[in-house]
Amino acid sequence: MLKEIWSAVCEPPKRRLILRLLCIYLIVAVPFKTLDLLPGLANIRPNSALLPVYGFLFGPVGAWATALGNCGYDLITDSFYTSSIAGMAANFCVPLFMCALWLRLFGKRFQLTNLRDLGWYTLLSAAGACLK
Q: What pTM was estimated for this model as a whole?
A: 0.85
Residue 43 burial (CB count, 10 A): 15
Please tell me the predicted confidence (pLDDT) of residue 26.
93
pLDDT in tens, 38-82: 776 666 778 888 888 999 999 999 999 999 998 998 898 888 888
pLDDT in tens, 80-97: 888 888 889 988 998 998
3-class DSSP state for residue 127?
Answer: helix
Burial class (CB in 10 A: 0-12, 13-18, 19+), 128: buried
